């Protein structure tokens, strides 16, 4: 039995997230359809995380077991020939028998793109949040610094979550300008449902003067969702990297989970 790891990239606009759903098209379902054509069997695929409807991925990982002897390069080329233009296979590799795309993961990096230019960029339509008010990055970085470390992020996740342990460790959280784009980048050992989008929405409300640094601190310490910001739209969010080994610049990792 072989254990195969697929690394994908996709534009999530047309899909209701990564996870298979009964009444909506997902990224995983489309990939499984292509795999079934190539492998002549519908294999059980394990995704590295759940992404919301409209969220994109620069790198998304899936693992599955198969007895099919197909060469890896042939699997990659065949899948890419069958998949639609908004989903691509970047890499295919064999991994140890006990590897699991989700449970072997030690952390992830998300990037949220905010388009601040006053012109219309058709290449960013549905792939970045259009936002014209000025952003004070130095002020926002001070808020980002509050999130670094191990915290209970109950106040920064959707009320729909049924996860009991909402403590996560954030190793990197920063904002940076890249031309007309402002990029919010966050790395951690796990993320709660809507957590990254709420962090971004909180930054936007701080920038607008509708939230203060003290209120953000209270949202963290009191675990109060009502004190945090809005949930930023999904279309600006990208799963950017999936870590299976801990980067050297991270501190010692704690046990984390992911629900974003």
Cα 169 to its chain centre, rounded Å, is 15
Nearest 5°: phi and psi at 88?
A: -135, 145
Query: Could you give the CA distance from residue 237 to residue 108 in angstroms, rounded to a whole number?
Result: 13
224 classed as catalytic: no
Give the H or E element holding residue 35: helix 27-39
Residues with Cβ within 8 Å of residue 163, at least 6 apart in sequence: 157, 192, 193, 257, 259
Q: Considering the candidates 52, 189, 240, 258, report the single residue annotated as catalytic.
A: 52
Decide: helix, strand or coil at residue 212: coil
To which residue do tokens 């009964």 refer? 22
- The neighbour count for residue 111, using CB atoms within 10 Å, is 19
Q: What's the token pair of residue 50?
A: 């759940």
Query: Could you give the CA distance from residue 101 to residue 46 in angstroms, rounded to a whole number?
Result: 6
The torsion region of residue 126 among left (phi > 0), alpha (psi -120 to 50) and beta comes to left
Q: What's the token pair of residue 64?
A: 């599955």
Decide: helix, strand or coil at residue 65: strand
Give the H or E element holding residue 203: helix 195-207
Q: What's the token pair of residue 41?
A: 């069997």
Which residues are catalytic, by number?
A: 52
């Amino acid at each position: 039995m072989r254990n195969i790891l697929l690394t994908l990239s996709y534009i999530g606009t047309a899909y209701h997230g990564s996870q298979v759903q009964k009444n909506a098209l997902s990224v995983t379902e489309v990939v499984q359809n292509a795999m079934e054509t190539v492998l002549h069997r519908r294999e059980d695929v394990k995704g590295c995380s759940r992404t919301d409807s409209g969220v994109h991925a620069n790198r998304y990982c899936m693992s599955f077991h198969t007895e099919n002897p197909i060469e890896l390069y042939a699997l990659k080329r065949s899948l890419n020939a069958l998949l639609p233009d908004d989903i691509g296979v970047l890499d295919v590799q064999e991994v140890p028998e006990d590897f699991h795309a989700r449970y072997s993961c030690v952390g992830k990096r998300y990037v949220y793109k905010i388009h601040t230019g006053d012109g219309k960029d058709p290449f960013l339509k549905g792939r970045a949040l259009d936002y014209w008010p000025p952003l004070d990055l130095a002020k926002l970085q001070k808020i980002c610094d509050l999130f670094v470390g191990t915290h209970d992020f109950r106040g920064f996740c959707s009320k729909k979550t049924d996860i009991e342990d909402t403590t996560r460790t954030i190793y990197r959280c920063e904002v940076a300008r890249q031309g007309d784009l402002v990029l919010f980048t966050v790395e951690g050992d796990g993320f709660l449902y809507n957590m990254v989008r709420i962090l971004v929405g909180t930054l936007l409300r701080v920038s607008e003067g509708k939230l203060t640094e003290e209120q953000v601190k209270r949202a963290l310490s009191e675990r109060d969702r009502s004190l945090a910001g809005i949930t930023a739209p999904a279309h600006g969010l990208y799963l950017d990297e999936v870590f299976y080994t801990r980067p050297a610049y991270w501190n010692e990792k704690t046990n984390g989970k992911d629900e974003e």
